[in-house]
């Protein structure tokens, strides 16, 4: 590969997903539902593909099908507390991955520094280095010990964060609700980050793909809704996460014209546009959701209610198995400390959590994700006693996992 891609060859999803298949293991690794997508969104797509409108099957507008960018602007306006121009302030991409790539490639010059909060969704790092940028890492640190703790106990040290900002800092990436931790950043925490952005004239990439999955009354606050943050924030979302259709690979970014324009330039020179039928179906799905705000059939609110008992079941089973779950406030992943579990994991060069995940997959037929993939090399040791579980799964899948876990005792 080219020089700028060197060091980015390894990918946790490629390696772990392959291992799960080869070992026919129960897969609580990569995050995707193992149940049928909601009927309403599937019906939207069915209607779209049976439409007689010939343009359904032809190229869409480069930056997003008008019906979809309009729906996105409308759905976000109340949460942002301002109007959104669908034509200049919204871009539709292939997944949230596409938006992350376009934003980072469009905004980061060689030598620019990008602050990344650990644990981070792994692609941020190769996307930054691939643009010639320099990632600067700052970890969330657990502030409590115990058998069962909360993702809310993981916090930034404000002084440590402040020390990472300098005249080279271009961006900070903030992921709330966070993958893999499930932390939902509070208004105070976001304000602390926003104040640093304003002080040092830094832009913010707010990865909010899990914005609708929240538990225990936690509220999702959009970074872009904080005072004077709209001008410097690009917010990223995903239809795959929003409607439990990860295979539809449709995402977007929303922000001020001067920032979204930079992402548009990358997009128009890369994939140029996204599949029309999927965009049309997502637009219809969002319109349906807007007509259901506050009603019990709103998928955006009922999904969390469906997920909460799954989260609680998994946390209970992990605790019973002798692990220490970090109960997430949002999203659909859970970290658990497995260091009390007795195993015969072989020694090796690789990080301990990677060796444990391999052992678990091969010997116990259960696959999870080693979270040190979400840390820089220097900080990997901070999570080598943890593994990440995905719980957007059928109850029967979680019960099978529980049987395997109880077998450890
Ligand atoms: N950001 C985060 C935090 C994620 O967990 C994911 C899941 N893959 C993405 C972005 C990418 O989403 P998509 O599947 O829409 O590309
Ligand atoms: N976001 C999902 C996860 O963290 C999927 C990752 C991926 O598709 N690479 O598991």
Ligand 1 nearest-atom number relative to CA 179: 3
374 CA distance to ligand 1 middle (Å): 13
pLDDT for res 139: 98
DSSP secondary-structure letter at 9?
Answer: -
Rounded average pLDDT over 98-106: 98
Pairing mode of beta strands 149-150, 113-118: unpaired
Distance CA(76)–CA(83), nearest Å, equals: 9
Rounded average pLDDT over 162-181: 98
Rounded average pLDDT over 94-116: 98
pLDDT for res 342: 85
Ligand nearest to the CA of 392: 2
Contact call for residues 222 and 192 (beta carbons, < 8 A): no
**pTM (2 decimals)?**
0.98
Q: Does the beta carbon of 17 sit less than 6 angstroms from any atom of ligand 2?
A: no
Ligand nearest to the CA of 121: 1
Residue 230's Cβ-side half-sphere holds a number of Cα atoms within 13 Å equal to 14
For residue 224, give every residue at least 6 positions away whose Cβ sits within 8 Å of its Cβ, in sequence order, or none.
80, 206, 230, 233, 235, 254, 255
The mean predicted confidence, pLDDT, of the chain is 97
323 CA distance to ligand 2 middle (Å): 23
Ligand 2 nearest-atom number relative to CA 369: 10
Q: Does the beta carbon of 31 sit less than 6 angstroms from any atom of ligand 2?
A: yes
Band (pLDDT 50/70/90 cuts) for residue 343 is: confident
Pocket probe mutation, ligand 1, options 180, 209, 278, max atoms within 8 Å of Cβ: 209
Rounded average pLDDT over 387-395: 98
Q: Specify the residue with its C-alpha closest to ligand 2, atom 2.
A: 31
pLDDT for res 407: 87
Percent of the chain with pLDDT over 90: 96
Distance CA(101)–CA(253), nearest Å, equals: 11
Per-residue pLDDT tens for 205-218? Answer: 999 999 999 999 99
pLDDT for res 409: 64
Per-residue pLDDT tens for 213-237? Answer: 999 999 999 999 999 999 999 999 9
pLDDT for res 291: 97
Distance CA(197)–CA(224), nearest Å, equals: 12
Per-residue pLDDT tens for 45-74? Answer: 999 999 999 999 999 999 999 999 999 999
Cα dihedral 27, 30, 35, 41, rounded to 10, equals -170
Edge to edge, what strands does the sheet with 113-118 contain?
Answer: 90-94, 250-254, 233-238, 203-207, 169-175, 113-118, 134-139
Tokens of 138: 């700052």
pLDDT for res 408: 78
Rounded average pLDDT over 194-211: 98
31 CA distance to ligand 2 middle (Å): 5
Per-residue pLDDT tens for 249-270? Answer: 999 999 999 999 999 999 999 9
Distance CA(362)–CA(30), nearest Å, equals: 17
Percent of the chain with pLDDT over 70: 100
362 CA distance to ligand 1 middle (Å): 27
Q: What domains can be seen in the chain, in order of their start residue?
A: 3-37+298-406 (3.90.1150.10), 40-290 (3.40.640.10)
179 CA distance to ligand 1 middle (Å): 9
Q: Does the beta carbon of 331 sit less than 6 angstroms from any atom of ligand 1?
A: no
Contact call for residues 29 and 367 (beta carbons, < 8 A): yes
DSSP secondary-structure letter at 118?
Answer: E
Pocket probe mutation, ligand 1, options 120, 241, 251, 279, max atoms within 8 Å of Cβ: 241
Q: Does the beta carbon of 182 sit less than 6 angstroms from any atom of ligand 2?
A: no
Per-residue pLDDT tens for 126-136? Answer: 999 999 999 99
Q: Does the beta carbon of 186 sit less than 6 angstroms from any atom of ligand 2?
A: no
Ligand 2 nearest-atom number relative to CA 31: 10
ipTM above 0.90, yes or no: yes
Ligand 2 nearest-atom number relative to CA 209: 1
Per-residue pLDDT tens for 344-381? Answer: 888 999 999 999 999 999 999 999 999 999 999 999 99
Task: Check pLDDT > 90 for residue 405.
Answer: yes
pLDDT for res 344: 86
pLDDT for res 114: 99
56 CA distance to ligand 2 middle (Å): 29
């Amino acid at each position: 590969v080219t020089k700028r891609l060197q060091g980015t060859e390894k990918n946790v999803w490629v390696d772990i997903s392959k291992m799960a298949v080869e070992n026919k293991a129960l897969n609580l690794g990569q995050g995707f539902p193992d149940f049928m997508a909601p009927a309403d969104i599937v019906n939207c797509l069915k209607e779209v593909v049976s439409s007689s409108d010939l343009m359904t099957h032809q190229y869409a507008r480069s930056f997003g099908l008008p019906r979809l960018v309009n729906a996105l602007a409308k759905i976000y306006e109340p949460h942002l507390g301002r109007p959104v121009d669908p034509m200049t302030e919204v871009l539709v991409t292939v997944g949230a991955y596409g938006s992350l790539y376009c934003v980072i490639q469009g905004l980061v010059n060689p030598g620019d520094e990008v602050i990344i909060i650990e644990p981070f969704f792994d692609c941020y790092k190769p996307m930054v280095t691939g643009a010639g940028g320099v990632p600067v890492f700052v970890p969330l640190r657990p502030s409590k010990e115990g058998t069962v703790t909360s993702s809310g106990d993981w916090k930034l040290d404000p002084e440590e964060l402040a020390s990472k900002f300098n005249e080279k800092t271009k961006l900070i990436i903030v992921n709330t609700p966070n993958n893999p931790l499930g932390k939902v950043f509070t208004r105070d925490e976001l304000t602390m980050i926003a104040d640093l952005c304003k002080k040092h004239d830094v832009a913010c990439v707010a990865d909010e793909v899990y914005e609708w999955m929240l538990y225990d009354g936690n509220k999702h606050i959009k970074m872009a809704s904080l005072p004077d943050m709209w001008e410097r924030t690009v917010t990223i979302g995903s239809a795959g996460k929003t409607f439990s259709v990860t295979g539809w690979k449709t995402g977007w970014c929303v922000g001020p014209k001067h920032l979204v324009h930079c992402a548009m330039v990358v997009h128009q020179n890369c994939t140029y546009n996204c599949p029309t039928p999927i965009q049309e179906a997502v637009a219809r799905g969002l319109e349906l959701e807007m007509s259901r705000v506050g009603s019990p059939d709103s998928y955006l609110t009922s999904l969390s209610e469906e997920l909460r008992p799954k989260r609680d079941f998994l946390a209970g089973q992990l605790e019973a198995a002798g692990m220490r779950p970090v109960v997430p406030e949002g999203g659909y992943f859970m970290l658990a400390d497995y260091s009390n579990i007795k195993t015969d994991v072989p020694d090796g060069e690789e990080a301990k959590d990677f060796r444990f995940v391999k052992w678990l997959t091969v010997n116990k037929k259960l696959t999870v994700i080693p979270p040190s993939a979400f840390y820089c090399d220097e900080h990997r040791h901070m999570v080598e006693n943890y593994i990440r579980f995905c719980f957007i799964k059928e109850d029967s899948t979680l019960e099978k996992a529980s049987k395997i876990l109880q077998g450890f005792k």
